[in-house]
Chains A and B, each alone.
Chain A
Amino acid sequence: MLGPLTRPWWAARVGPSAAFLVATLRVVSIVALTFVGLLLVTFLIGRVVPVDPVLAAVGDRAPAEVYERVRVELGLHLPLHEQFRIYLTKVLHGDFGRSVLTANPVLADIRRVFPATLELATLGTLVGVFLGIPAGVVAATRQGRWIDHVVRVIGLLGYSVPVFWLGLMGLLLFYAHLGWAAGPGRLDVAFEDLVTPVTGVILLDSALQGEWSVFRNAFAHIVLPAAVLGSFSLAYISRMTRSFMLEQLGQEYVTTARVKGLSEQAVIWRHAMGNVLVPLITVVALSYANLLEGSVLTETVFAWPGLGMYITNSLLSADMNAVLGGTVVVGTVFIGLNLLSDLLYRAADPRAR
């Protein structure tokens, strides 16, 4: 996202500290530009709605002067760029307007539902990382053998399966038939309101307050949606790990390490793995961002009361303030994760500094 990571031509002329300053400014300006671009798109989407917002507010029997007054109140008489400036100011102050559906400010709603999504996406990413990285390494070190094929096929399946369908099939098999996992929702009714929300992440809150029965129930509920959501992450991470590892194993330093008599385990985990982890930072960050977004479908299937379900419910009742607010929040997290992965990459790879 932030362009080439090689040293630019002017770095030698201006000295290291000035070059660092310029690079930082560059990163900041690109992030700011992307953010403004995101807001421009959501602003324009809000403007193409075929419903007349004034008419929606006053009803179609209102006299012309009332209509006109509301139009001015909503700022719709101003030129488009002026309207955008006002929108920008409002969003930067955390004002996304009110949700028609819940009658709360959109930001308050999002604050309430976001921890549930964060919990789900984090667990999904953990599934992807802890299964995907070893799977990719094993596949790369046994290239062409049956285990390699198995990992590749699992990766392909993860790319090809519709998550919402996988979720339904999971519910059918593991909840309805086998009874191994709990059903939709975050908690059973009996366990609700036993834990005072501190972070909003139930697994964390219940563990901190020592409510282990709530923790177990919450865990039984989250396992299935997290596994379903993580299947994409697992496919992506294992595939990328395999290809990064194959690239490293072809390098000369690996041959040198082998010639010096190191065990294959040491060569893989102590020498090659370090270089595999650096590009994996970006992959994990990207897949995390994708899971936050992919939760829209998963949450709908599992009745998971998070941001995804909030956006879907708002969509179905044409509650545009809530939809666009949710879009801006997810977009901001996206941009933030991109930036974070870029900074981590620079910190981990001396060549990128």
Chain B
Amino acid sequence: MSPGGDSMRKVRSWLLDEAPRSRLQARLGRTYRGWLTFRRNPMAVLGLAIVSSLIVIALIAPYLSPHSPFEQDLARRLEPPSAGHWLGTDELGRDIASRILHGARTTLGMVLLVAILVAPVGLLVGTAAGFLGGWVDGALMRTTDIFLAFPRLILALAFVAALGPGIENAVIAIAFTAWPPYARIARAETLTIRNSEFIAAVRLQGASTARIIWGHVVPLCTSSLIVRVTLDMAGIILTAAGLGFLGLGAQPPLPEWGAMISSGRKFLLDQWWVATMPGVAIFVVSLGFNLFGDGLRDVLDPKHG
């Protein structure tokens, strides 16, 4: 038996210890058990692989791309896929593969921004409503319900039309219509936590309401919110690409997948690759988020499986 395998086994048994001796050990152990469950689902692992590749590609896009995403070569416009241009060139002779790789940055950036804006708002509204109850709950949840009853895509469109097209406004518009489900989930979680004994114990020790919500309720809501965010990512990507397709998201010459499909539309019948390739990228990435989210839900939130 090699010493490496031996120490691996030690780490493993330390992680799976039934009686953890420290908070760290308990946390790492739980994460490891979650990973063991997650690993058993091949589709979820595929999703994780796609999502991680997206992140890596977004980080090192300039080193991966064979060409610049902006460099025009009008002599070689609309060329089919070849060894020099793996996915062909677009109407300005730009390398489609390089533009797709750089487009990963745009997409990931937008999605992350929406998540950063939406999750805390939903968390705050939901936990406050659930924990405080009474008229606060009534008012906050009525507002949430009103927003839930709105047509999200059209409202986002109207919002961008008013503010003017661009990535920032597209992000704001999507976030503006995406927060209500998070508030709902956070409230439901809070209601189950609110009356538990450990909250009563914290309260007896003199903790303020803000401290209880922030320090004890919010952390317990995060896992279901993470699942929801992951599952929502696909929808956010599709909405962002849709806004780009309509010319309301990222503006040229910035590489964005939806806008690339829109400009390739004119050449669809003769130069099919211009519109097809970016669509494949959107499809694969949103499929990856869906698969990953499903797997994550089975691990973190088994009761809603």
Contacts and interface: CB of A to CB of B under 8 A. Distances in A.
B24 interface: no
B150 A334 contact: yes
Contact of A48 (B150, B162, B234, B290): B162
Interface in B250-276: 258, 261, 265, 268-269, 272, 275-276
B157 A296 contact: yes
Nearest to A314: B161
Contacts of B153: 293-294, 296
Contacts of B154: 293, 296, 311, 326-327, 330-331
B19 interface: no
Interface in B282-299: 282-283, 286-287, 290-291
A45 B283 contact: no
Interface string A37-71: 11001100110111000000000000000000000
Interface stretch (B27-35, B111-119, B240-248): B240-248
Nearest to A50: B164
B142 interface: yes
B151 A168 contact: no
Contacts of A318: 161
Interface stretch (A155-163, A200-208, A252-260): A155-163
Nearest to A157: B287
A161 B157 contact: no
B70 interface: no
B17 interface: no
B291 to A, nearest CB: 7
B192 to A, nearest CB: 16
Contacts of B241: 162
A289 B246 contact: no
Nearest to A315: B161
A165 B279 contact: yes
A139 interface: no
A297 B242 contact: yes
Contacts of A312: 157, 246
10 contacts: A162-B241, A162-B283, A168-B261, A172-B272, A293-B154, A294-B153, A296-B154, A320-B161, A327-B154, A327-B155
Interface of B: 142-143, 145-155, 157-164, 234, 238, 241-242, 245-248, 258, 261, 265, 268-269, 272, 275-276, 279, 282-283, 286-287, 290-291
What 3 pairs across the A-B complex have the smallest Cβ distances?
A165-B279, A37-B146, A160-B287
Given A50-B164, A297-B245, 16 more contacts: A37-B147, A45-B158, A159-B290, A163-B238, A169-B276, A296-B157, A296-B242, A297-B246, A300-B245, A312-B246, A315-B248, A318-B161, A320-B162, A324-B158, A330-B151, A331-B155
